[in-house]
Structure 1
Amino acid sequence: MSSVTAAARAATPPAAEPAARRNRRPLRPARIVLYVFLTVVALGWLAPLLLALYASLRPYQETAQYGYFSWPHKLSLDYYQQAWSGAEMPRYFRNTFFIAVPAVLLTLFFASFVAFALARFKIPGRKTMLVAFTAGNLLPPQVMVTPLYTAYTKIPLPEWMSSSLTLYDSYLGLIAIHVAFQTGFCVFVLYNYTQTIPVELTEAAVVDGAGVWRQYWQITMPLLRPALGALATLEFTWIYNDFLWALVLMSSGDKLPVTSALNNLRGQFFTDYNLLAAGSVLVALPTLIVFFALQKQFISGLTLGANKG
């Protein structure tokens, strides 16, 4: 019986082997070095977050006595409760979403429409406009702090939009500055991706009587979904983590975003860094949730054109 089985196995053609075994690439030294390098880089990026998470679960007295890299004697979630209530994080989270969500939506809307117009219509000077959008991202925001502050204090707004009666110290002011600074980068990315969409789709829509808005909203926008998902993840992270513009263009403490709430956890003469670590982990949670929610779109957006000849 064993000889028959051996003969049958020897007679099995190579095509009957499992597909996974046929497609398995040999581990070359260069690939092993690449995997080791990527693993080290990933651990290097995760190390600060893991250390903050570890410290936030330990009492400050324990880490002060034994060090942050010692074996824990007690783990608890007490610091998270203190950070949540002591820093008034629910209010600051609400302020942040009042700023970040409209800013991301407006940025992607304006950028996608401009990218569609530049890619599909022969607008005079469109290359110059694209370069101007891209060059605007190279301007350091710190250079514009003083003129923007002066302009914001002189632009009037109705009382229902701003208690200061100006653009300064208002949610609209922060939303506007984020949209202005982030639109250029998004236009650059979406323009390059829109160029890969076959122009025959919009030409067929024109033959069917579709106007500009319908070409943009019903033909182009659905095809931009992977790029928009990747940009939405990046833009939400950047705007959510902003501290400079909120510090410069706002004065009311009850309107500041959540990044400023961490200052409430710092004492005048003493700072409990384990409590501050717990607050930092809480502040970082929304960006992680957004990333995992849009992970599929983010990865597909980053790999656009990877398989194109």
Structure 2
Amino acid sequence: MFPTQIQKSSTGWQIGYNVLVPVALFIWLLPLIAIFMTSIRPETDITSGNVFGWPTDFLLIENYAQVFRETKALQYLINSFLVTVPTVILSVSLACLAGYALAIYKVPFFGKNLSIPLFMLFVAGNFVPFQILMVPVREFSENIGVYNTVWALILFHSAFQTGFCTLFMRNFIKALPFELIESARIEGVGEFKIFWHVVLPLVRPALAALAVLIFTFIWNDFFWATVLTNGDEAKPITAGMESLKGQYLTRYSLYSAAALMAAIPPVIMFFIAQKHFIAGLTLGATKG
């Protein structure tokens, strides 16, 4: 049984809803508001103990410009894009191909169908704690000569995210009517054209939802950015922000400004694909 719509509830419930929702929203946004207020206040406010009070001065342009002028935040942001965008393209592309194969084909092996075992292998990879892979992954990246480069992050993020992406895409493709593919085959259409012209247009919302999720995962990654990079030339913004911490003093206003700038691209990515993202998450939800 579904809950009653708020418009059909009693007057008391509607009043409570209208009061509690803004309060809950304010509490949820409170940390972001605090970070923003810290990013525009002078350093003297923080050193004097005025951390949560009203700023003595508003240095919005000065502090944010100082982040780019005195740090390598611009280079870190560029590195983040150089890592995230190719990883999303590579992971989603491989997942579409693998998901189509696992959803449509039967893989014969000595009279057995290996489609389900192969699919379970992709799923099992998502349950491996990535912390235990830290040492072998770093040593392997050094052996193949990609350590401390954006290629190290692209390769290993693509490898680790492809399993989740394949799980995602296989389930969506599996929910499509198989009669469409059979009809195309009867008409003599090749398998790649079926994949390109029939399947991909139908799962476009799922592609958008997956791209937003993977973009957010990769952009916000800190663990692998720290493990696989050791210099400013390859660090993304999440790991590069550590350089804003001094040995004896941390400039919290610049640190907060850099953190907010690092959070903007995933938010923009979500709002650009918001319509497709919501449709992708609900696609196939009523499939029996």
Per the shorter chain, which TM-score range?
0.7 to 0.9
- Which of residues 293, 298, 302 is equivalent to 2:272? 293
- TM-score, normalization by structure 1: 0.82
Looking at structure 1, the residues matched to 194 and 149 of structure 2 have their Cα atoms a distance apart, in angstroms, of 36
Tell me whether 1:207 sits opposite 2:190 in the alignment.
Answer: no
- Structure with larger Rg: 1
What is the count of residue pairs matched by the alignment? 277
Task: Judge conservation of contact 2:225–2:238 (CA < 8 Å) in 1.
Answer: no
> 1:306 offset after TM fit, Å?
4.4
Unmatched 5+ residue regions in structure 1? 1-22, 156-165
Q: Please, which moves more after superposition, 35-44 or 95-104?
A: 35-44
Partner of 1:47: 30
Stretch deviating more after TM superposition (80-89 or 109-118): 80-89
> Are residues 1:278 and 2:257 paired?
yes
Partner of 1:231: 210
The DSSP-based 3-state class of the residue aligned with 1:253 is coil
Aligned equivalents of 1:69 and 1:229: distance in 2? 39
Once superposed, what is the RMSD of the aligned Cα atoms? 2.4
* Match in the other structure for 2:199: 220
Match of 2:157 in 1: 178
User: Shift of the alpha carbon at 1:182?
Assistant: 0.7
- Per the normalisation by structure 2, the TM-score is 0.87
Q: Output one character per residue of 1:129-154: Cα deviation in whole Å (capped at 9) or x when no partner.
A: 22221121111111011111222222
CA contact (8 A) 2:71 2:244 kept: yes
Deviation string for 1:86-110 (max 9, x for gaps)?
2222222221111111100010001
Deviation of 1:253 (Å): 2.2
Percent of residue pairs bearing the same amino acid type:
37
- Kept in 1, the 8 Å contact 2:106–2:115? The answer is yes
Report what 2:247 is aligned to. 268
Q: Which residue of 2 aligns with 1:27?
A: 9
Report SS of the residue matched to 1:251.
Answer: coil
Letter in 1 for 2:54: W
Is the 8 Å Cα contact of residues 87 and 261 (structure 1) preserved in structure 2?
no
Q: 1:193·1:227 contact (CA, 8 Å) conserved in 2?
A: yes
308 and 147 in structure 1: CA distance in 2 versus 1, 3 angstrom threshold: closer
Residue 104 (structure 1) aligns with:
88
The answer to whether the Cα contact below 8 Å between 1:87 and 1:262 also exists between their aligned partners in 2 is no
Structure 1 residues 254 and 140 mapped into 2: Cα distance closer, same or farther (>3 Å)? same
Rounded to whole Å, the distance in 1 between the matches of 2:20 and 2:267 is 24
Per-residue deviation, residues 200-237 of structure 1 (Å, max 9, x unmatched): 11111111212221111111111111111111111011
**Contact map agreement 2:244 2:255 (CA 8 A) in 1:** yes
Q: Which runs of 5+ in 2 are unaligned?
A: 108-112
Classify 1:66/1:292 alpha carbon distance in 2 versus 1 (closer, same or farther; 3 Å): same
Structure 2 counterparts to residues 33-112 of structure 1, below 5 A: 42-65=25-48, 67-77=50-60, 78-112=62-96
